[in-house]
Amino acid sequence: MKPNRFKQVLAEGRIPVGHMLLEFGARGMPRMLEEAGVDFVVVDMEHSGFTSADIADMMAWFRATTVAPFVRVPQVQYHLIARTLDAGALGIMVPDVKNAAEVQDIVDAAKYAPLGKRGVGIGAANTNYKSVNPDEFLRYANENTTIICQIESQEGLDNLDAIASAPGVDVLWVGHFDLSRSLGITGQFRQPKFLDALKSVVAAARKHGVAAAIQPRDPTQAQEWVEIGFNVISYGVDFVVYMQAMTQGVAGIRRLDPNRASS
């Protein structure tokens, strides 16, 4: 099991910078993201067509990089969480975590005893096909595996302390669109009600010694949210970054056309 760069950067007091893969599960993406300086990646199974086989391929490709690969599973189910970690993921993100009971189910699936109830399988992708000392590996895996709970609802806000204080939880991650929808202000990210919600997540994270994460659309929004106190930033979704770059590039080329229509 390779070191978790995400946890290393956090331990150094710096902000881990990540990226989300939803569309481009190509074999070259891990090296490209490593070259871009990304610390971690979240491969999304909630809103994509990625299968368990796709995830296994991507985890294998990420093993050849220093990037920490995490996976967002679609819901809290033991087989989704445990099998993904067995494929070599270093962390799990779970959407719309609402209460302590859900957190316990997540920890049970992601962590080995005594923290959880994850079944033990050693010698395959999760140990890089190496023979390891079982006791040492189980302890290391529990320390090295990241659990990310997404806060995306009023109920999640109401139970922040219980979620953040649960043993095994590492990160509270605001799903900003879903949270704003739950608050009745979809997409209104500068509304006082939404900003108060962000501040409450940051306060709970600091109180219980976990990280506060969010995914801004651009560096300006990132600065606003870092100033609120978020200390983990995921920069964009793959296809959005690509579309923005292509749109800007094509528009720039169009402006070079001497025969373009005047507006």
Which residue has better confidence, 129 or 42?
Answer: 42
Instruction: Tell me the per-residue pLDDT of 8-20, one tens digit each, with 9 for 90 and over.
Output: 999 999 999 999 9
Average pLDDT over residues 232-240: 96
Instruction: Tell me the per-residue pLDDT of 61-87, one tens digit each, with 9 for 90 and over.
Output: 999 999 999 999 999 999 999 999 999
pTM, to two decimals: 0.94
Mean pLDDT for the chain?
A: 95
Long-range Cβ pairs for the range 98-101 (8 Å, 24+):
98/153, 98/155, 98/156, 98/159, 99/155, 99/156, 99/159, 99/162, 99/163, 100/159, 100/162, 100/163, 100/166
Average pLDDT over residues 97-101: 97
Instruction: Tell me the per-residue pLDDT of 244-257, one tens digit each, with 9 for 90 and over.
Output: 999 999 999 999 99
Instruction: Tell me the per-residue pLDDT of 217-234, one tens digit each, with 9 for 90 and over.
Output: 999 999 999 999 999 999
What local confidence, expressed as pLDDT, does residue 32 receive?
97
pLDDT tier at 42, thresholds 50, 70, 90 = very high
Beta bridge partners of residue 214, listed in sequence order: 233
Percent of the chain exceeding pLDDT 70 equals: 99
* Residues 46 and 262 sit within 8 Å (Cβ to Cβ): no
Angle at 67 between CA 50 and CA 84, to 5 degrees: 40
Question: Could you tell me which of 1, 209, 214, 211 has the C-alpha nearest to residue 90?
Answer: 1
Average pLDDT over residues 205-215: 98
The whole-angstrom separation of Cα 155 and Cα 224 is: 25
Q: Walk me through the domains of the chain, giving residue ranges and CATH numbers.
A: 5-237 (3.20.20.60)
Do the bridges between strand 171-174 and strand 211-214 make them parallel or antiparallel, or are there none, so unpaired? parallel
